[in-house]
A and B are shown apart, each in its own frame.
Chain A
Amino acid sequence: MTTREEQEKIQEKFKERMDEDELLNCMRCGFCLPTCPTYIESGYKESHSPRGRIALMKAVVDGLIEPDEDFERSLDLCLGCRACEPVCPSGVNYGHLLEEARAIVSVNKRYSLPAKVVRNMVFKGLFPHQNRLRNLTGLIGFYQRSGLQTAARGIGIMKLLPDSLSSMEKVLPSVPSMKEMRNRPEHLAPLSKKVHKVGFFSGCLMDTMFLETNNATTKLLQLAGCEIVIPKNQACCGALHGHSGEKEGAKDLAKRNIRAFEDSDVDFIITNAGGCGAFLTDYAHLLKDEPEWNTRAIAFHEKIIDISEILVILGFHEKVKLKLPAQIVTYQDSCHLRNVMKTASAPRALLQAIEGIEYREMKEADRCCGSAGIYNITETEMSMQILDYKMEQAKGTYAKTIVTANPGCLLQMKLGIERAGLSGSMRGVHIADLLLEAVGERAEK
């Protein structure tokens, strides 16, 4: 609930800070509508479409409406998948508009106490601090390994949680031990003839909960002839902050990362999470008001490239024999990898190069799965509606393996498999893990 006073303040800031030219750039042709998952799932409500949201932002700037609860609802329900951007002939940068609008609302609004506690804990207390994230992951590891998980499931205590959370509990990967997480090397030598020196952006969640995927990624890079630098002082990319309106927090993290990679003298900086990679490429925009940082951000973002893309460039799939037991494989795009980083054909090319598998494209693989950062926790109902639609399409491929390229998507796919009752016949896997499996370096689990 926003008070009248807060609304006035938000309105004033909208006038001051929203990019009017970008708002006017939308000529309202509606070409974005058929690509917007929330427009479709809301039963074709314009207020939940990109064109509608831009019109609402502009109306707040123009003073036609107040930024009331319905307005906030419209912003909140947006997945931020940015599927509207590649199809926009006018080239409206919707993501930037959304981020700015959310930042203005979040800064000028007093959240209810519980919401504030959670936001503070997540955005200030947890993600900026890799050690704390390690500790939390360690706690989950303790839960999983100590027998507590088995006990909790046995007693049925999980049934007390909302459906989505209790399913979520089941799909968390077996997390690494504290020791594994702390022993991340800072330098790795190539395992074939050296072709590039690259930096590896290890991420926060990826380097804790998904450590194994990170290890697979670096292994693939080594096999492809990369010398890898993994700077210790890098931090969380800040995407969760940026997308939730915590812009200042995001800027601090951006500066830490730019600094961390600046002196490493690498040709590329590799990411294996579409959500992080896309946010890293947006640092220049994030820091647009600080000229010196802006320049440094551009130099930084020009080096960012996704693992699939670099492997294709290096001809990894042509040089290394990839083979798996016969199975149907399908791919679910990571929205930000596809819509922002424009990487869509590379992962498909890699998968199609694996001997033994049959690759089947899923209908609307480019549509968001509903994970969208913490959206599946904050907007569970819509997220599950979107996920259930996605699983229908997945089922249609008869795939045994759904491949993703982002941790959020991966968890959501696993959740979807669980919800659809397919846990015996279908699995969700990150592309780096599957490729390493195909190299023969890691057995299928």
Chain B
Amino acid sequence: MSASNEAAVLAAEVKGKMINIVGEGNFDDSKTGRLVYSYDATPNFQSLPAAVVSPRNTREAAEIVRICNEHKVPIVPRGSGTNLCAGTCPTEGGIVLLFRHMNKIIDIDEENLTATVQPGVITLDLINAVEAKGLFYPPDPSSMKISTIGGNLNENSGGLRGLKYGVTRDYVMGLEAVLANGDIIRTGGKLAKDVAGYDFTRLFVGSEGTLAIITEATLKLIPIPETKKTMLALYQDIESAAKSVSKIIANKIIPATLEFLDQPTLEVVEAHAKIGLPTDVQAVLLIEQDGTPEMVNRDIERMSAICKEENAVSVQIAESDAQAEALSSARRTALSALARLKPTTILEDATVPRSEIANMVRAINNIATKYHVKICTFGHAGDGNLHPTCPTDSRDKEEMERVEKAFEEIFVKAVELGGTITGEHGVGVMKAPYLELKLGKEGIAAMKAVKTALDPNNIMNPGKIFAKDSRKRVVITR
């Protein structure tokens, strides 16, 4: 991706207006200031915005949007920039709308079991704040230590607890959002039931900043489970692990977490975390169950038995909460730890119905062999959401082309098995060329109609979700 673009500079008039709104200190168009918001966590995407603007409240955000609409300046909303589909990379220039000031928890309502927050709140901070009151906010993306709620909402982030508790979308009750014309609207509310008109809440969650700028959210909380237990099942062949996953679910057990890690992933995670993960087995399932003590014990026992029936070489149960926490924390570092292997780490999140997990794992391995690329796989096996990851080197053009082809085939296979091209990372720029695989032409046309109606000037995170043309993802100059 090119790091320069035509829209690199804002007209002096626009700049002046923006500074009037947010103040000198919250408008940055210096070269360094722009450079550090030219990327997110997606490899090989970099593009400088024209300026970085940090509003202090909804009113300021709305006024900035209004100016952008008037002058047709693209807007990329950004929290901590941990996005994995280049969704927060300002590929079309314009401004980065940064939520570093709007990071307050407005209230935790113990009567309605809701939390109302600004978009810049760090996910883990919210989780800790509600847990202190005996409440639970389940969505826990691996980046939760630094990801923001705003980012989670825009990407509809999943996480390790998705299997039992669902994803971000399932916990959003209402939003305040700024539309492309600068209007501020409110959707939903602290309401268990609400069918007043279209469900804009659901539409905006996961819209990747292409429809509106979310400036506040009311989130659903649930009582915190009484207790939890964590176990590890070790396998000498990957398929047995995958079969265990399907069998656990078929036995009507829904664990809170059911994660899969293959041998290369185990090795790098252990190199970072040093918590004594086994590195001499081909695969591991990390399983957690929460609930009442009786239920947790019963489920853990039954799952151990199932894993052993499916040829697990060993089943270990974490002895303490600290050990259990260390295991899930370690799992959350898998992607970044894989970056140890090679300079470039390409990650996807093809997702299939959970019954197809063994087929998908087998297909990924065959595809890797076919294209002579190394693919490490980890992910949320329990909800069919895998993260095949390829350690490679973007400087090696020939290999990058093979990587490209391998991933395309993985997407095709996933859709063929009734799955999707992305389970939780979003389409962004990275998967835009493949969206048609999942939606068909008609599906894309319907989505574009929504986009055009709400954002006629195409200023809201342009270039994301919809591919410019049908050309495949191009690899990439640094």
A positions within 8 Å CB-CB of B: 21, 24-31, 33-34, 43-47, 49, 52, 55-56, 59, 62, 64-66, 68, 70-71, 73-74, 88-91
Contact of B35 among A31, A59, A73 (CB under 8 A): A59
List 21 A-B residue pairs with CB atoms under 8 Å apart, sorted by A's residue number: A25-B343, A27-B41, A27-B335, A28-B39, A28-B40, A28-B41, A29-B336, A31-B336, A33-B146, A43-B100, A43-B101, A47-B36, A56-B36, A62-B3, A62-B478, A65-B31, A71-B32, A74-B32, A88-B272, A89-B269, A90-B337
Given contacts A30-B146, A62-B478, contact A47 B272 (CB under 8 A): no
Q: Which residues in chain B, 33-77, are within 8 Å of chain A measured between CB atoms? A: 33, 35-41, 43, 46, 48
Q: Mark B92-111, 1 if CB is under 8 A from A, else 0.
A: 00000000110100000000
Given contacts A34-B145, A43-B101, contact A66 B39 (CB under 8 A): no
Residue B143, interface by CB 8 Å: yes
Give 20 A-B pairs besides A31-B146, A34-B145, A91-B272 with Cβ atoms closer than 8 angstroms.
Answer: A27-B345, A28-B39, A28-B40, A30-B82, A34-B122, A34-B146, A43-B101, A44-B100, A44-B103, A46-B37, A47-B33, A49-B36, A59-B35, A62-B478, A64-B3, A70-B30, A71-B32, A88-B336, A89-B269, A91-B271
Chain A residue numbers with a CB within 8 Å of B478 are: 62
Q: Are A30 and B272 in contact (CB under 8 A)?
A: no
Q: Are A30 and B32 in contact (CB under 8 A)?
A: no
Residue B328, interface by CB 8 Å: no
A64, B4: Cα distance in complex, Å: 9
Q: Closest 6 interchain pairs by CB?
A: A89-B336, A89-B333, A90-B339, A24-B343, A27-B339, A70-B32
Residue B81, interface by CB 8 Å: yes
Q: Are B145 and A56 in contact (CB under 8 A)?
A: no
Chain B residue numbers with a CB within 8 Å of A52 are: 36
Residue B340, interface by CB 8 Å: yes
- Min CB–CB distance B301 → chain A (angstroms): 33
- Min CB–CB distance B317 → chain A (angstroms): 25
Chain B residue numbers with a CB within 8 Å of A26 are: 339
Q: Are B81 and A46 in contact (CB under 8 A)?
A: yes
A29, B33: Cα distance in complex, Å: 19
A261, B35: Cα distance in complex, Å: 46
A153, B3: Cα distance in complex, Å: 58
Given contacts A29-B335, A30-B146, contact A65 B344 (CB under 8 A): no
A281, B304: Cα distance in complex, Å: 45
Chain A residue numbers with a CB within 8 Å of B335 are: 27, 29, 89
Contact of A31 among B33, B38, B143, B344 (CB under 8 A): B143
Chain B residue numbers with a CB within 8 Å of A30 are: 41, 80-82, 143, 146
Q: Are A24 and B36 in contact (CB under 8 A)?
A: no
- Interface centre among A29, A47, A59, A71, by most chain B C-beta atoms within 10 angstroms, is A29
Chain B residue numbers with a CB within 8 Å of A29 are: 41, 82, 143, 335-336, 339
Chain A residue numbers with a CB within 8 Å of B336 are: 27, 29, 31, 88-90
Given contacts A28-B41, A29-B335, contact A46 B146 (CB under 8 A): no
Q: Are A24 and B344 in contact (CB under 8 A)?
A: yes
A59, B36: Cα distance in complex, Å: 9
Q: Are B143 and A21 in contact (CB under 8 A)?
A: no
Q: Are B340 and A91 in contact (CB under 8 A)?
A: yes
- Min CB–CB distance A77 → chain B (angstroms): 12
A44, B26: Cα distance in complex, Å: 12
Q: Which residue of A lies closest to B395 (CB)?
A: A24
A176, B39: Cα distance in complex, Å: 54
Q: Are B43 and A27 in contact (CB under 8 A)?
A: yes
* Contact count A vs B, C-beta below 8 Å: 100
A47, B272: Cα distance in complex, Å: 26
- Min CB–CB distance A180 → chain B (angstroms): 43
Chain A residue numbers with a CB within 8 Å of B339 are: 25-27, 29, 89-90
Chain B residue numbers with a CB within 8 Å of A49 are: 36
- Min CB–CB distance B365 → chain A (angstroms): 24
A28, B82: Cα distance in complex, Å: 8
- Interface centre among A25, A27, A65, A88, by most chain B C-beta atoms within 10 angstroms, is A27
Chain B residue numbers with a CB within 8 Å of A33 are: 80, 146
Chain A residue numbers with a CB within 8 Å of B343 are: 21, 24-25
Given contacts A27-B339, A30-B41, A55-B36, contact A70 B146 (CB under 8 A): no
Q: Which residue of A lies closest to B269 (CB)?
A: A89
A21, B340: Cα distance in complex, Å: 10
Contact of B337 among A59, A74, A89 (CB under 8 A): A89
Q: Which residue of A lies closest to B272 (CB)?
A: A89
Q: Which residue of A lies closest to B42 (CB)?
A: A28
Given contacts A30-B81, A31-B143, A44-B100, contact A56 B35 (CB under 8 A): yes
Q: Which residue of B lies closest to A65 (CB)?
A: B31
A62, B39: Cα distance in complex, Å: 14
Chain A residue numbers with a CB within 8 Å of B334 are: 89
A45, B101: Cα distance in complex, Å: 10
Q: Are B340 and A68 in contact (CB under 8 A)?
A: no
- Min CB–CB distance A36 → chain B (angstroms): 10
Q: Mark B231-258, 1 if CB is under 8 A from A, else 0.
A: 0000000000000000000000000000
Q: Which residue of B lies closest to A45 (CB)?
A: B100
A71, B48: Cα distance in complex, Å: 16
A45, B81: Cα distance in complex, Å: 12
Q: Are A68 and B272 in contact (CB under 8 A)?
A: no
A220, B36: Cα distance in complex, Å: 49
Q: Which residue of A lies closest to B80 (CB)?
A: A30
Contact of B36 among A27, A46, A68 (CB under 8 A): A46
Q: Which residue of A lies closest to B120 (CB)?
A: A44
A156, B37: Cα distance in complex, Å: 48
Q: Are A64 and B143 in contact (CB under 8 A)?
A: no
Chain B residue numbers with a CB within 8 Å of A45 are: 36, 100
Q: Which residue of B lies closest to A43 (CB)?
A: B100
Chain A residue numbers with a CB within 8 Å of B146 are: 30-31, 33-34
A56, B32: Cα distance in complex, Å: 7
Given contacts A25-B343, A31-B145, A89-B336, contact A66 B33 (CB under 8 A): no
Q: Mark B325-358, 1 if CB is under 8 A from A, else 0.
A: 0000000011111011001110000000000000
Chain B residue numbers with a CB within 8 Å of A66 are: 31
Given contacts A27-B345, A34-B145, contact A55 B31 (CB under 8 A): no
Q: Are B337 and A65 in contact (CB under 8 A)?
A: no
Chain A residue numbers with a CB within 8 Å of B333 are: 31, 89
Q: Which residue of A lies closest to B4 (CB)?
A: A64
Q: Which residue of B lies closest to A72 (CB)?
A: B32
- Min CB–CB distance A344 → chain B (angstroms): 13
Q: Are B35 and A68 in contact (CB under 8 A)?
A: no
Chain B residue numbers with a CB within 8 Å of A89 are: 269, 272, 333-337, 339-340
A338, B110: Cα distance in complex, Å: 40
Chain A residue numbers with a CB within 8 Å of B143 are: 29-31
Q: Which residues in chain B, 78-132, are within 8 Å of chain A measured between CB atoms? A: 80-82, 100-101, 103, 120, 122
Chain B residue numbers with a CB within 8 Å of A90 are: 272, 336-337, 339-340
